Structure 1
Amino acid sequence: MKKSNGIIAYTIIIAIVIALIFFFQRSLYTQTNVTYSQYRSFVEEEKIAQAQIEQNAKVPTGSVLFFVSGSSTEYRVFVSDVNAELDRLQDNGIKVTLTAVKENYFLNTLLPVLILVIGISFVFVAMTGRMAAPGGGSGGGQSMANFGRSRAVMETGGSKKVLFKDVAGLQEEKEELEEVVDFLKNPNMYTSLGARIPKGILLVGPPGTGKTLLAKAVAGEAGVPFFSISGSNFVEMFVGVGASRVRDLFEQAKRNAPCIIFIDEIDAVARRRGTGLGGGHDEREQTLNQMLVEMDGFGVNEGIIVMAATNRVDILDPAILRPGRFDRKVAVGRPDVKGREEILKVHTKNKPLGSDVNLRRVAQTTAGFTGADLENLMNEAAINAAKSKQGYISQRDIEQSFVKVGIGAEKHSKVISDKEKRITAYHESGHAILFHVLPHESQVHTISIIPTGMGAAGYTMPLPEADEMFMTKKRMEEDIIVAFGGRVAEELIFGDVTTGASQDIKQATATARAMVVKYGMSERLGTINYEDSGEEEVFLGRDLGHARSYSEDVAREIDIEVKRIIDEAYAQAKTIITEHMDVLHRCAQVLIEREKIGNAEFEAIFDGRELPEPGAEQTSLMSGMPSEGR
C-alpha cells in the first residue's frame, strides 16, 4: 500500500511540473495572433480604435497590439518594420503608442528548462531517498543501495518452529539429518576426533515430498538461524547483481553463525555451465561461480551449512555436486504405506473423522502419493464434508475427493446422447474385463460413465494391493493389453472406433517403446539400452544437434519391435473380450442404467450373480489415476 501511494505522489509531482511549464509558456502569449493581411483589412476598414507598437531595442522588427471596435479581445500581429506601421496607423487617425521591449531570455527560454530539471531532480532524489531509507532491508530488496543485497529471509524459530516430530513419513531421511543437528548442538564432540561439519546437504526428490519441511526441521531442532531463499531470487537482468547477493547472503550467515542457508529450487541458479546460446560469461554463470567460491573457496565459513532442494539434480553443474560443497545427497522419495499413514495422521490431526474412516486403508490404497498429495486429498475431503453440512469427514467424502483430485469432479449435469453413453459404457466395460482377467493387474474398484472435469467421458479405477518398487515384463505387457480394452470393445460391438482411446494408445505406445529401448525387454534387440540419455547435452543441446547413439537400421528394428508388441497385445485383448462377450454386454447395460458401479457389482456381473444394491459395497479408495480418460 505504501509503495502504491509513493508512486501516485511521484506521478502528481511530475504532472505539476509539466503544468507549470505549460503555464509559463502560455503566459507569454495571452493575445490572439492574426495574420498581416487580417491586420491590414482592420486598418483599411477603420475598425481599430487604438494600438500599441512594441519594438525590440536592437532590431526594427516588432509587433502591433490592437483592439477592434466592439470587441474586448486583444490582437497581436508581428511586423518587420515598426516605423512604417507607425506612419500607416497615424495616417488613418488611429491613436498609437510606441514602447521599446527587451527580450526576456530568462523567462522565455531558461525558466521552463530550469523548472523541468529541478522537477526531475526532485523526483529522483525523493525516490532514491525513500528506497535508501531504513526498513528496505536485505530481505525486501527495495532500495537502490540494497539492490545487490540478499533477499533471504531469516527465521529464528519462535512459536512456529518446525521440529522433526512435525515431519511424518520420512524416517530414514530424518535419521540422516539428525547427525547434522547433533553436530550443530555438540560440535566439540566431532571436532575432537578430526571430523568437520558437512558444508552442504542436497535434498533430491519429486515435488511435494517434503524437502523444504525437512530443512526447516533441521534448523528448528538445532535452534539456529535459518536463511531461506529461492534460487530464482539470485538471478537478475543486471550484470553482477546475483553474485553480489550471494556474497551478501554468506556475509549475513557468517555474522549469525552457526546457521543454515536453505536454497529452494537451486537448479534455477546452479545449472550446468557452458550450455547457453552465447558464451559462458552470462549473469547466471557469474552467480554460480560466486556460489562455488563461497561454499568451498578461500573464505572460511565455519558453522554454516548450506541446504538446497531440487527435483532436477541431473542438470546441476558437476562442480557444485562434489564433496566439499554438497557433501551429502539425501534422497527424499515418495512415502511407503507406513509413511503415508503417518502423514495422514498429521493432516487429520485437526479434522474430525467419522467412525467409518480407516486411515490405514486409505494409506494402503494411495500408493504413489506424496505428502502434498495426501494433504490436498484430506483438504478436499474436508471441503466436501462442509458442503454437505456434515460435522465430520466420512469415508465417502474421501472417495469423492479422490475422484476430484485424480480426474476432476464428476459432471452429473452434463447432457450426453444415448449413443455416446452406450459407446462409453462398452468402452469402460472392456477395460474392466481385462483388469479382472489378467493375473498381474489390480482388481476393479469403480467403473463410471459420468463425464469428469478433465474431459473424460468415463473412467475405470483399479485398486492396487500394495506399493510396487519395480515393474515386471509380464505386468508391462498386461498394462498394454488393458489399455486397448476400450478400443477393442468399440470395434467388436459397433464395427467402428472413436477418438476416445487416443490417450490409451499413447500410453500403450510409450510403455512398449520403453520396454524395447530402455529396459532391454526385447528378444529381437537384446539387453541393450538404446535410450537417448543426452547426458552431455543439457537443454539446448538435447534438442538441437543431438545425434542418436544407434544407426538407422537399429531405429527401424526398434519401430518393428514396438509395433509387434502393440499388435500382439491388441490381438490378445480382442481374444479375451470375445471370450467374455456376455459379461461385456451385461456390464455395459448395468452402466447405462446406474452410470456408476463398484467392485461388488462388477464381481456379481462377472460371476453371473444377482446385483447388490447401488453403493452398498463402497469400502475402499482408488490409489492411482484411472486406466484411461475418454
Structure 2
Amino acid sequence: MNDDQPTGNPWIKSLLVWGGIFLALLMVVSMFGARTDVGTAVRYSDFRTKVAEGTVSEVQIGEDRIVGKYKNGDSFSTIPIPNDTTLPTLLQDNGVKYAGKAPEEPNLLLYILVQALPFMLILGVAFFALRQVQKGGGSGAMGFGKSKAKMLTERQGRVTFNDVAGIDEAREELEEIVEFLRDPQRFSKLGGQIPKGALLVGSPGTGKTLLARAIAGEAGVPFFTISGSDFVEMFVGVGASRVRDMFDQAKKNAPCIVFIDEIDAVGRHRGHGLGNSNDEREQTLNQLLVEMDGFEANEGIIIIAATNRPDVLDPALLRPGRFDRQVVVPIPDIEGREKILSVHMKKVPLAPDVNPRVIARGTPGFSGADLANLVNEAALLAARRNKRLVAMQEFEDAKDKVMMGAERRSMVMTEEEKKMTAYHEAGHAIVSVNEDASDPIHKATIIPRGRALGMVMRLPERDSYSYHRDKMHANLSVSMGGRVAEEIIFGYDKVSSGASSDIQYATGLARNMVTKWGMSDKLGPLQYEEQQEGYLGMGGSARLFASDETNKLIDTEIRGLVDGAHARATDILKTNEDKLHLLANALLEFETLTGDEIKELLDNGRIDRPETPRGPNKTAPVRGSAVPKSGKRYSGDASPQGV
C-alpha cells in the first residue's frame, strides 16, 4: 500500500474528529459554568429584611458573595456590602446559622488547559493543513500544485468507435493509435515509434470530445482527462507544477493516454502579452513543451488535445515530436450526417415514415452536436403531442425550430405589420426563384421565429465547399429582395428596419468578395484583409493592409456590388410584381409555405393543401386550397388591396 494513501475508514475518522471537538467545547462550557448552584439572586437589603422576618435558616459568608437557604429549602445569593459589621449580630439575634466561606482554590489542571487551548487549536489547524497538502491529486485544501487530471472509468455509458460516425478519416487516425497501444510490437518491428501526441482540430460540435471518449473506451489503458483552463491559476508557477504532477501520474500508469480539452487556453502564442501579464500561462506552456519532448523521454504517454482555434497555438507546440498528428474533425457531409442520425435514432422509437437520408439532405452544415439536438427536439415534440412514435413530421418541425428558431405565435402584430412582413419575405422568395444560381427555397414563413418577424429558408441541393461568383451575386440580390419589395409596395417613406440583418449580410459578403476573394476587377486578385482571433477562419476581427486611397476604392467597390444587387432585385420584382402580390397574399393566408408549395403557386396560381388542422392543439382554422377569406382563388392580378 502506498504510504501516502490514507488508512482506515474515513467516516470513522471524521466521527472521531467531530467527537473530539464536541468534548472540547463541552469542557470549556463546564469550566465556565462550574460554579455551584447559588440559587436566586436577591438584593442585600431584601436579604436583611428576610433575616429580620425569621425566614432564613442558614448562610455562608464569602468575600464577594453570601449564599444561603430559606427555611422552606429554597436557595438564594446576594452580594454583601463591604465592612458591614452589623450582619453577624443580626444573624445571631434571629437564630440564623452562619459560617464563613473559604475562597475557592484554583484548579491548576483546568487553568493550564484554558491557557493552552488556543495554542492547541492553532496546532490542530496547522496539522490538518499539512495533512491536506500531503494528499495527492490536488484534492487537498492547499494542493494548488497538484494536477486536476481525472482518470476516466466509464463502466456505464461506455463510448466506443461504433458510436462515432460521419468522421471516418479522423476515426481511422485515432484507431491506429489505439492499435499501437494494444500491440506495439506490430509497428516497432518495422522501426515505427508510437506517436507522442495527436491534436484534434475542428469546429465546435463536430465530435472531438466524443472521439476522445471513444479512445478511452477502446484503448484498455489508463485515460486521464483535463481541461486546458485547469492549469492556469492566479499564482505564478502553479500551472507548471500541475503539468509536472500530471506527467508524474502518467508515468506511474504508462502506457496511458492524457486528453487535454481546449488546449488553446494554455497553448497560445508566447510573447503576445504586455509586460508580465502572461507570465503564468507562458511558464505553464514552457513546462508542457519540456514534458512532451524534452531531455527526459516520456515513453508510453500519448497526449491527445482538442481545439477549435489552431491558429492561436504556439508553433513549438505543433511541431512533430510533440503533436505528431493533426487530425481534422470536419463538418460531416450528407453520408456522414446520415450515419450520425442513424446512431442517435437508435435511442428513439421511430415511425415507419422516418427516412434518415431525407433528413440528412435537408441539414447541410449541421455538426454532430446539431444532429443530436435535432433528434432530441423531435423526441420532445412527439412526447408533447402524446405520440408513441417519433414521425417524420416531428423531425421536420424540429429542423425548422433548430434552423429558424422557435415559433412566437403569442407575439401580437398589427395587420399592417403582418402585411409588410409578408411582402418582405415574398420579395426574398421571388428574387430567389428568378436567380438561377440561388439555392432552392425550403420554407417561407411570416410567423415570428427567434429574433426574426419572418424568414425565407433556402437549402442547397448538395454539400458545397466553395462559393462561385454567380452564386455570390445571386445571394446579394436575394438579400436585397425584401427591402426592394417594401419600396415598391409601400413607398420610400414606409420602408422599415426589417432589412437590417439583410443589409449586414450583404455588406459582409461584398466586403469579403473585394478584400479576400479577389472578385473586384479594379482591385484585382489581392488580399487586403486578414482574419484574426477566429476559429477555423470564422469570426474574429479583421485588419486591413491598404493605403488610404485603396481603402476609398474598396469602399466604392463594396458599395457598387450592393447597389448592383439592389438594382437586379428591383428589376426582377417589378417584372414579377403580380407574382409578388400572389405570394404575399398566400403567406398572409397560410402563414407558412414550403418550397414546393411556392413553386406550385407561382406555376399554377393556386395551392392544393390537405384539409388538416394546424398545430398540436388542433384549434387553428382548417385551410384547404389557397382560397382567401374573400372566397376568391388567387390569380395573377391579385393586389394588396384585396388582402
**TM-score of the pair, normalised by structure 2:** 0.77
Q: Distance in 2 between matches of 1:304 and 1:142?
A: 23
After superposition, residues 33-432 of structure 1 pair within 5 angstroms as 115-123=117-125, 125-126=127-128, 129=131, 138=137, 141-144=138-141, 146-155=143-152, 158=155, 160-279=157-276, 282-432=279-429
What runs of 5+ residues in structure 2 fail to find an aligned partner?
Answer: 1-9, 36-61, 65-75, 86-99, 535-539, 615-643
Q: Please, which of 582, 588, 605 is the counterpart of residue 584 of structure 2?
A: 588
The 3-state SS of whatever aligns with 1:606 is helix
Is 1:611–2:583 an aligned residue pair? no
The 3-state SS of whatever aligns with 1:441 is coil
Residue 386 of structure 1 aligns with an amino acid whose one-letter code is: A
Q: Distance in 2 between matches of 1:159 and 1:127?
A: 36
Residue 501 of structure 2 aligns with an amino acid whose one-letter code is: Q
Residue 506 of structure 2 aligns with an amino acid whose one-letter code is: A
Q: Distance in 2 between matches of 1:144 and 1:467?
A: 53
What CA deviation, in whole Å up to 9, does each residue of 1:307-338 have, x standing for no partner? 10000111111111111101111111001111
Distance 1:128 1:424, change over 3 A: farther
The 3-state SS of whatever aligns with 2:529 is coil
What CA deviation, in whole Å up to 9, does each residue of 1:544-583 have, x standing for no partner? xx98532122111111111111111111111111111111
Q: Greater shift after overlay, 276-285 or 368-377?
A: 276-285
Residue 436 of structure 2 aligns with an amino acid whose one-letter code is: P
Q: Please, which of 557, 577, 584 is the counterpart of residue 561 of structure 1?
A: 557
Q: Greater shift after overlay, 312-321 or 191-200?
A: 191-200
Q: Distance in 1 between matches of 2:217 and 2:263?
A: 21
Q: Distance in 2 between matches of 1:518 and 1:527?
A: 8
Q: Distance in 1 between matches of 2:465 and 2:608?
A: 36
User: Are the equivalent residues in 2 in contact too, given 1:216–1:226 (CA < 8 A)?
Assistant: no
> Displacement of 1:250 after TM fit?
1.4
Q: Distance in 2 between matches of 1:113 and 1:12?
A: 22
The 3-state SS of whatever aligns with 1:524 is coil
The 3-state SS of whatever aligns with 2:530 is coil
Q: Greater shift after overlay, 149-158 or 417-426?
A: 149-158
Q: Distance in 2 between matches of 1:429 and 1:242?
A: 58
Distance 1:596 1:614, change over 3 A: farther
1:46 matched residue in structure 2: none
Is 1:470–2:466 an aligned residue pair? yes
Q: Distance in 1 between matches of 2:132 and 2:455?
A: 59
Q: Distance in 1 between matches of 2:528 and 2:18?
A: 63
> Displacement of 1:440 after TM fit?
0.9
> Displacement of 1:165 after TM fit?
2.1
1:506 matched residue in structure 2: 504
Residue 151 of structure 2 aligns with an amino acid whose one-letter code is: M
Residue 453 of structure 2 aligns with an amino acid whose one-letter code is: A
Residue 567 of structure 1 aligns with an amino acid whose one-letter code is: D
Q: Distance in 2 between matches of 1:222 and 1:12?
A: 47
Distance 1:387 1:160, change over 3 A: closer
Is 1:494–2:490 an aligned residue pair? yes
> Displacement of 1:350 after TM fit?
2.3
Residue 460 of structure 2 aligns with an amino acid whose one-letter code is: P
Residue 200 of structure 1 aligns with an amino acid whose one-letter code is: G
User: Are the equivalent residues in 2 in contact too, given 1:273–1:280 (CA < 8 A)?
Assistant: no
> Displacement of 1:534 after TM fit?
4.8
Give identity over the alignment, percent. Answer: 48
> Displacement of 1:266 after TM fit?
0.6
Q: Distance in 2 between matches of 1:137 and 1:118?
A: 27
Q: Distance in 1 between matches of 2:343 and 2:256?
A: 28
> Displacement of 1:604 after TM fit?
2.6
1:627 matched residue in structure 2: none
Distance 1:257 1:111, change over 3 A: closer
What CA deviation, in whole Å up to 9, does each residue of 1:20-39 have, x standing for no partner? 999999999xxxxxxxxxxx
The 3-state SS of whatever aligns with 1:422 is helix
What CA deviation, in whole Å up to 9, does each residue of 1:165-186 have, x standing for no partner? 2211111112222332332233
Q: Distance in 2 between matches of 1:418 and 1:112?
A: 84
Residue 459 of structure 2 aligns with an amino acid whose one-letter code is: L
> Displacement of 1:149 after TM fit?
2.2
Is 1:527–2:525 an aligned residue pair? yes
The 3-state SS of whatever aligns with 1:532 is strand
Q: Distance in 1 between matches of 2:470 and 2:389?
A: 43
Distance 1:578 1:22, change over 3 A: farther
Identify the structure with bigger relative contact order (alpha carbons < 8 Å, sequence gap 6+). Answer: 1
Q: Distance in 1 between matches of 2:28 and 2:551?
A: 75
> Displacement of 1:341 after TM fit?
0.6
User: Are the equivalent residues in 2 in contact too, given 1:18–1:116 (CA < 8 A)?
Assistant: no
Q: Distance in 1 between matches of 2:141 and 2:205?
A: 36
Residue 380 of structure 1 aligns with an amino acid whose one-letter code is: E
What RMSD over aligned residues (CA atoms) do the two structures have, in Å? Answer: 4.5
**TM-score of the pair, normalised by structure 1:** 0.78
Residue 576 of structure 1 aligns with an amino acid whose one-letter code is: I
Q: Distance in 2 between matches of 1:615 and 1:455?
A: 31
